[in-house]
Amino acid sequence: MTAPRTLAEKVWDRHVVSTSPDGPDLLYIDLHLVHEVTSPQAFDGLRLEGRTVRRPDLTLATMDHNVPTTDRSLPVVDQLSKQQMDTLEANCAEFGIRVFNMRSPQQGIVHMIGPELGVTQPGTTIVCGDSHTATHGAFGALAFGIGTSEIEHVLATQTLVQSRPKTMAIEVAGDLPPGTTAKDLILAIIGQIGVDGGIGHVIEYRGEAIRNLSMEGRMTICNMSIEAGARAGLIAPDETTFGYLKGRPHAPQDADWDAALESWRELVTDEGATFDTVVKFDATKLVPTVTWGTTPDMSVPVNGNVPTPEETDDADQTRRALDYMGLEGGEAVTDLTLDRIFIGSCTNGRITDLRAAASIVDGQHVADGVRAMVVPGSYPVKLQAESEGLHQVFIDAGFEWREPGCSMCLGMNPDILEPGERCASTSNRNFEGRQGKGGRTHLVSPEMAAAAAIAGHFVDVRDWTPAPTQESAK
Ligand SMILES: CC(C)[C@H](C(=O)O)[C@@H](O)C(=O)O
Ligand code: SF4
């Protein structure tokens, strides 16, 4: 009888190729996802050493950060972006890797394509040269963001050297109140534990509120684990997970599906297993959350006020953040007026997010002086939204309806804020200059972003009529 283990430990143990008493382990990697920004030097490294890719069949590439979100039949104007995309395509051709270019019907943000295709599966190890790889943890996978030299190592060997992480449980008791979403929950959790609260840990999100979330909501939660400093985040798979995966192009089929289910059902933290750190969170008190500063833990409830420097632990840091954000401190959040709205990204660019936002803006119009944009996270999401008529709801309300990609989440393409512009964004980072030099980012849920677009300032979406849908929270 083995000692009780956490979910993360079980997945880890299933993948250890070799181990040394005090050193790191060598882990087998089941899926390696690749995008155009962090891969070029890794491929160069392979070429220099005359190596091949060990398992091109377990490697999948997409273009996302640099893709234009305007008409894709036109040439790419930005030469650096074009070069990065051309390089990825050439590297994938040379090394035999499947790649989704910007005209592929499966193209999307790297963290979206895996779940959509069903290659993201419970109990697997997944890596990508991108910090938000933890998104896949929503399926009970152990998913790490890795650096360029590690990308090269995985390409060449299909293994990764990693030291055992510490384990953290975040227990979320109660259910989410109406008008609040997975995004509000993760922002509030990060607000509680801080941007370094998860350092060195793999977080397992547990409890009633997590069990009641849709797969999309769970992905939103796991996606932002890195913003709490964690190495990864995951959630035990259950019927919601299996229901999402069944029938996807790369999900196991027939007898293989039954065998997979049997093995996936073992992927739970054993009774009696201990975590290095346990955090408790009460979901029943959750309020729609808005970041006011320049790190994701600088957030307040929408019915609250921006803090003054004196109210915080680090007055200097707060003063700097307020200054960058063009705030004094003390303002009511609902008094903050917006110039731009961005609905999209690997945090909130999924179909349930777009449905929730569309239900808020349906029949209304974006406020004067506000420029609002919806960027689906992938082509499958875009096509699904169009088949439901959501694009028309957004267009009629005065939103721009764009082609899929990372877009204004980080502004590596032309979608950027002008200096001083204030933006309600459904993405995951509000760092200085993140959405364009001098741009001011407030992170919120899709519902909150949609309502802010119509009102021209933040509003408490719980007061919104018609009543907000809870689609993205369920
Ligand atoms: C470009 C990439 C390396 C980066 C990341 O690792 O996260 C980006 O996706 C981001 O969100 O900042
Ligand atoms: S959408 Fe944003 S967070 Fe996600 S991969 Fe792209 S740039 Fe990174």
Instruction: Output the CA 212–ligand 2 centroid distance in Å.
Output: 26
Q: Is residue 474 part of a domain?
A: no
| Euclidean distance between CA atoms 152 and 129, whole angstroms | 10
Q: Whose CA is nearest to atom 3 of ligand 1?
A: 130
Cis peptide before 468 (omega within 30 of 0): no
What is the position in ligand 2's atom list of the atom closest to the CA of 344? 1
Helix (H) or strand (E) holding 279, with range, is strand 277-282
Instruction: Output the CA 17–ligand 2 centroid distance in Å.
Output: 31
Question: Domain check: are 148 and 297 in the same one?
Answer: no
Give the pLDDT score at 467.
Answer: 44
Question: Domain check: are 229 and 136 in the same one?
Answer: yes
Question: Domain check: are 242 and 302 in the same one?
Answer: no
Select from 406, 416, 428 the residue to mutate for testing ligand 2; criterion: most ligand atoms less than 8 Å from CB. Answer: 406
Question: Can you read off the two tokens belonging to residue 362?
Answer: 């349906």
| Euclidean distance between CA atoms 107 and 126, whole angstroms | 19
What is the position in ligand 2's atom list of the atom closest to the CA of 131? 8
| Euclidean distance between CA atoms 257 and 265, whole angstroms | 12
DSSP class of residue 226?
Answer: G
| Euclidean distance between CA atoms 140 and 84, whole angstroms | 32
CB 163 within 8 A of CB 59: no
Q: Is residue 139 part of a domain?
A: yes
Using alpha carbons, list the distances in angstroms from residue 346 to 2, 109, 335, 405, 474: 38, 6, 28, 9, 18
| Euclidean distance between CA atoms 438 and 420, whole angstroms | 5
What is the position in ligand 2's atom list of the atom closest to the CA of 347? 4
What range does the domain containing 210 cover?
A: 7-277
| Euclidean distance between CA atoms 97 and 287, whole angstroms | 45
Question: Domain check: are 188 and 111 in the same one?
Answer: yes
> 407: left (phi > 0), else alpha (psi -120 to 50), else beta?
left
| Annotated binding residue 92 | no
Q: Is residue 412 part of a domain?
A: yes
Instruction: Output the CA 406–ligand 2 centroid distance in Å.
Output: 5
Question: Domain check: are 226 and 202 in the same one?
Answer: yes
Give the pLDDT score at 464.
Answer: 87
Q: Is residue 1 part of a domain?
A: no
Per the structure, how many domains does the chain have?
A: 2
Pairing assessment for the beta strands 371-375 and 400-401 based on DSSP bridges? parallel
Q: Is residue 2 part of a domain?
A: no
Give the pLDDT score at 1.
Answer: 62
Question: Domain check: are 203 and 234 in the same one?
Answer: yes
Question: Can you read off the two tokens belonging to residue 217?
Answer: 């909501």
10 lines ligand 1 (CB under 6 A): no
Instruction: Output the CA 276–ligand 1 centroid distance in Å.
Output: 28
CB 128 within 8 A of CB 122: no
What is the position in ligand 1's atom list of the atom closest to the CA of 226? 7
Question: Domain check: are 225 and 326 in the same one?
Answer: no
| Euclidean distance between CA atoms 412 and 415, whole angstroms | 8
Q: What is the CATH number of the domain that holds 151?
A: 3.30.499.10
Q: Is residue 359 part of a domain?
A: yes
Instruction: Output the CA 467–ligand 1 centroid distance in Å.
Output: 35
Q: Is residue 121 part of a domain?
A: yes
Question: Domain check: are 257 and 311 in the same one?
Answer: no
Question: Can you read off the two tokens belonging to residue 437?
Answer: 């030099």
Question: Domain check: are 230 and 307 in the same one?
Answer: no
Cα 153 from chain centre: 25
Question: Domain check: are 319 and 237 in the same one?
Answer: no
Give the pLDDT score at 2.
Answer: 81
Give the pLDDT score at 466.
Answer: 52
Q: Which residues line ligand 2 (CB under 6 A)?
A: 64-65, 109, 111, 130, 132, 345-346, 406, 409-410, 427-428
Give the pLDDT score at 163.
Answer: 97
Entry pTM? 0.97
Q: Is residue 282 part of a domain?
A: no
Using alpha carbons, list the distances in angstroms from residue 407 to 48, 55, 222: 33, 30, 21
Nearest to 124 by CA among 7, 215, 24, 287: 7
Q: Whose CA is nearest to atom 4 of ligand 1?
A: 130
Question: Domain check: are 336 and 272 in the same one?
Answer: no
Average pLDDT for runs of 10 along the chain of length 474? 92 96 94 98 98 98 97 93 97 98 97 98 98 98 98 98 98 97 98 98 98 98 98 98 98 98 98 98 98 98 98 97 98 98 98 98 97 98 98 98 98 94 98 98 98 98 68 45
Give the pLDDT score at 79.
Answer: 94
| Euclidean distance between CA atoms 205 and 464, whole angstroms | 30
Rounded to 10 degrees, what is the CA torsion of 387, 116, 70, 459?
80
Provide the ipTM.
0.99
Instruction: Output the CA 374–ligand 2 centroid distance in Å.
Output: 15
Question: Domain check: are 109 and 258 in the same one?
Answer: yes
Q: Whose CA is nearest to atom 6 of ligand 2?
A: 406
DSSP class of residue 4?
Answer: P
Q: Which ligand is nearest to the CA of 64?
A: 2
| Annotated binding residue 406 | yes
